[in-house]
Amino acid sequence: MTDAPPDLLTAENFTPLIGQHFSIIHPEVPAEFTLRLTSTYDPSKGASHPKFRKPLTLLFRGPAEPLLLEGAYDIQTEGFGPVRLHIVPTLSPDREENGMGYHVAIN
């Protein structure tokens, strides 16, 4: 899988996908493992330079176990992807109740 084109990695493309489950395409990740997109936001709050792509942060929730290790993964959901993203586990104090948190920072 090649990296996604920059114009695909925007809030406009990801926001409608909030609530959807994304499959992880990786030989070491079980086929049934998914991440649910919970939020998208622009961390620059609109203050990014007009010559550059707006930054984007994606927040996901996955199962409490197993833990998806930090790394680059191809993800897809119905009608979108696959795209390669660098996914990072996030400390989630409510992990047992709501699943493990993950984030993606796109600059």
CA distances from 21 to 17, 24, 45, 75, 80 (A): 9, 10, 26, 10, 11
The model carries a pTM of 0.88
More confident residue, 93 or 48: 93
Report the DSSP beta bridge partners of residue 39.
59
- Give me the residue spans of the domains in the chain: 6-106
More confident residue, 10 or 68: 68
Instruction: Flag the least confident range among 3-12, 34-43, 54-63, 98-107.
Output: 3-12
Q: What is the pLDDT of residues 62-76, one digit of tens each?
A: 999 999 999 999 999
More confident residue, 53 or 33: 33
Tokens of 20: 């959807």
